[in-house]
Structure 1
Amino acid sequence: MRIYLLIAAIAGGVTWLVTPLIRHVAIHIGAVGEVRARDVHTIPTPRMGGLGMLIGFAFAMIYSSRIAFTTGLFENNNQEWVILAGAVLICLLGMADDLWDLDWMLKMAGQLLISVFVAWGGLQIISLPLGSLITASPSISVTITAILIVASINAVNFVDGLDGLAAGIVAIGGVAFAAYSYIIARNSPSYASMATLIDVAMVGICIGFILHNWHPAKLFMGDSGSMLLGYLITCASIVMTGRLDPASIHASVYLLVFMPILLPILVLFLPVLDMCLAIVRRLSHGQSPMHPDRMHLHHRMLRIGHTVQGAVLILWGWAALIAVGSIMTLFFKVHYVLIGFVIAVVLLTVATMYPYLKRRLPEIAAENQSYASARRRARHSFDESGDGKKRRP
């Protein structure tokens, strides 16, 4: 465990140190996000922060390949280097978008090509939990892997709208993944796990970047960062659950936690929900699925009345509830987890709606008082009208 904490610290420290340099580079080359109608920030801010996170991640991976505890993960196995190569490519694609605002179809095509490259390089979902674990054909494995990577990349990209939001959500998911993959690795002769290694390094770069990205942000991660984080968290989940041994584990027992397609959705529940709502909303209005608007979850939080920091913290809370709740059954009985889940849902719901209720309840009380006064006046007028009729000869 201490080795993993060291790796996370190294990844976070390197990211924190190089990010100011990346900020100056972004300003120099013109990677500065102009204020658009859908944006929350009010002044032009440099982006391309994903390059700093990539450097932190790459440094952590190279360092891990040189220490005794994890060096065995890199021997006779090119999967780790394929993942790193894919991270470089996806970050470069994001940097191109940060600089030139690529067309969404071109960007999607690039994401798909990189995902296929990584899948052909060895990162694949081999076993599918359909009642019992079955081995998928190479073409099906590549297809499912590529679709899952592209979906996760865009889910994180969609939710990246407030300072620190995307990095925090991915960090929370990374912690949940790391805890679970570490538990799985403890059943093996060596505690070393590539999934845990990727997770802790990813958590480290998220924390290192948030220190520069907290509101008001000095630098945005841009597409180079959001796409990188979506890619890494999916790679970790595939490494952890994509190669289960059908002979050693029966999927019906661990279906909810082993399913490779379900795990990223649980951890990235808010980004996936936001992405699905946006696609449905835009298609229903006859727009492109990538057409920008101000109807994302974080926009709605601000419209309710939350500050930027408050909205981010509450959305982090919802992300933690889903991500951590998905692995709590490993440590506690299910009914205890459900009780805690319900309590947390109630508390988060109150926190989410508090600004609206704080503003709306006095308005409702004033409206009720005005309505009651109007009724009293009407009744008084009616009574006077009735008394007058009785006094007529």
Structure 2
Amino acid sequence: MTAALALAAGVAGFLLTAGLMGPLRRLAVRWDLTDRSQSRHVRARPIAFLGGFAIVLGTLLPVLAVLGVSDRRVTAILVAAVAVAFLGLVDDVRPLPVATRLIAESLAAGLVVASGVQITFTGQWMDGPVTVMWIVVITNSFNLLDNMDGALGGVTVVTAVVLVGSALVGAQAPLAMLVFALACAALGFLTHNWAPARMHMGGSGSLFIGFVLTCSSIALVTGAGPDTICAGLLLPAFVAVVDTGVVLVSRLLAGRPLLIGGADHVSHRLRRAGIGARGVASALTVAAAVSGSLGLTVALGWASPLTVAAVAGSTAVILIGVMQGVDVYAPARPVSDLAQLTRRRW
């Protein structure tokens, strides 16, 4: 695989994803596949959510064109990620029970683990279940991060680009091709999703992105030492981990059900602090770029994995605590908007 071929595939993925947005938007409107019944986004009008389908194709087709099915791990990740994306699409159309989603996601994660992608903390059988659990949790954390125009798209682009660097440093060209294709597809989607968005990715896109990024991060540290594994897992998922931590802590402290949705994510809190939608998306993208770049310094051997992981973990805890000080439930929204916000299931 030459650099020119990979670049051409990435450009093709970008153009394919961006080009599919118009036809998919018209199809979604015709079939009434809009997010008007959801509360994932801050918006004034219903928007089609089939953008995830374009992200899947914009990632899948270039990788297959360049690699085929020659790499077992990349093939397993793609097959499982497509299955998870389909699950997300079904859930968008007809909401599934939480248990059904988690079981299906665990089976998909198990396929990836069977291909050799594992968190190798102990080298024993328990590494498999731990890996499955991490994939499912972080995949859904990325899914929950898709709650404002441009937020997850921006985070995906910078995270995937940094992972490309880590993969190349580790001489893992197939993984580099996979995350590069994802970065290009996410960038193509972002041209239609930056605020004010004309298209949303829906569960199919956010689950696909979360699954690919999480599995790729694990593949890059499989067989490494515990400190490198901790840094390699936390840094690419830093923004998603903080967001999920903020939500869980706030709901536990307030005695609210953990799986009943609400406008209590980091993005909503930043909006309450007076930052616009584009500013929030930009802030989250910059945070992902900084944390991902720290991961790249570890891959390059420029920084101690243990030190970087400790700093990142401490920063995450501090941010989760600080964010609790923003009262996202203060009465400032119209009643209709509040009703919409409380309908989210996660």
**TM-score, structure 2 normalization:** 0.81
Q: Distance in 2 between matches of 1:143 and 1:194?
A: 25
User: In structure 2, do the counterparts of structure 1 residues 219 and 117 end up closer, same or farther at CA, with 3 Å as the change threshold?
Assistant: same
- 1:326 CA drift (Å): 2.7
Q: Distance in 1 between matches of 2:82 and 2:243?
A: 26
Q: Distance in 2 between matches of 1:299 and 1:39?
A: 9
Percent same amino acid at aligned positions? 22
Q: Does the 8 Å contact 2:235/2:294 carry over to 1?
A: no
- Of residues 82, 85, 88 in structure 2, which corresponds to 1:94? 88
Deviations 1:162-185 (A, max 9, x none): 111112112211111110110111
What is the aligned partner in structure 1 of residue 78 from structure 2? 84
- 1:153 CA drift (Å): 1.0
After superposition, where does 1:310-389 map in structure 2 within 5 Å? 310-328=279-297
Moved more, 274-283 or 205-214: 274-283
Bigger relative contact order, structure 1 or 2 (CA pairs below 8 A, ≥6 apart)? 2
User: In structure 2, do the counterparts of structure 1 residues 288 and 114 end up closer, same or farther at CA, with 3 Å as the change threshold?
Assistant: farther
Q: Distance in 1 between matches of 2:153 and 2:116?
A: 24
- RMSD across aligned C-alpha pairs, in angstroms? 2.9
Q: Distance in 2 between matches of 1:83 and 1:39?
A: 28
Deviations 1:301-335 (A, max 9, x none): 11111111111112211221111123235669659
What is the aligned partner in structure 2 of residue 125 from structure 1? 118
Larger Rg: 1
Q: Does the 8 Å contact 1:126/1:136 carry over to 2?
A: no
**TM-score, structure 1 normalization:** 0.72
After superposition, where does 1:224-235 map in structure 2 within 5 Å? 224-235=204-215
User: In structure 2, do the counterparts of structure 1 residues 273 and 303 end up closer, same or farther at CA, with 3 Å as the change threshold?
Assistant: same
After superposition, where does 1:145-224 map in structure 2 within 5 Å? 145-185=131-171, 193-224=173-204
- 1:61 CA drift (Å): 1.5
1:294 matched to 2:284: no
- Of residues 244, 247, 251 in structure 2, which corresponds to 1:278? 247
1:45 matched to 2:47: yes
1:135 matched to 2:123: yes
- 1:64 CA drift (Å): 0.9
Aligned length: 311
After superposition, where does 1:107-126 map in structure 2 within 5 Å? 107-120=101-114, 122-125=115-118
- 1:14 CA drift (Å): 1.4
Q: Does the 8 Å contact 2:164/2:175 carry over to 1?
A: yes
Q: Does the 8 Å contact 2:73/2:117 carry over to 1?
A: no
Deviations 1:102-139 (A, max 9, x none): 2333322222222223323x1431632xxxxx5232xx
Amino acid at match of 2:180: V
* Structure 1 gap segments, 5+ residues each: 67-73, 129-133, 186-191, 245-250, 350-355, 357-393
- 1:270 CA drift (Å): 1.3
Amino acid at match of 1:116: G
What is the aligned partner in structure 2 of residue 241 from structure 1? 221
Amino acid at match of 1:9: V
Q: Distance in 2 between matches of 1:265 and 1:331?
A: 17
What is the aligned partner in structure 2 of residue 4 from structure 1? 6
Amino acid at match of 1:49: G
- 1:81 CA drift (Å): 2.5
- 1:219 CA drift (Å): 1.0
Q: Distance in 1 between matches of 2:301 and 2:106?
A: 39
- 1:36 CA drift (Å): 5.4
User: In structure 2, do the counterparts of structure 1 residues 146 and 326 end up closer, same or farther at CA, with 3 Å as the change threshold?
Assistant: same
Amino acid at match of 1:265: L
Q: Distance in 1 between matches of 2:299 and 2:64?
A: 32
What is the aligned partner in structure 1 of residue 278 from structure 2? 309
Q: Distance in 2 between matches of 1:39 and 1:205?
A: 21
Deviations 1:347-370 (A, max 9, x none): xx9xxxxxx9xxxxxxxxxxxxxx
Q: Does the 8 Å contact 1:40/1:162 carry over to 2?
A: yes
* Structure 2 gap segments, 5+ residues each: 320-325, 327-346
Q: Distance in 2 between matches of 1:150 and 1:113?
A: 10
Q: Distance in 2 between matches of 1:194 and 1:148?
A: 22
Q: Does the 8 Å contact 1:195/1:237 carry over to 2?
A: no
Amino acid at match of 1:158: L
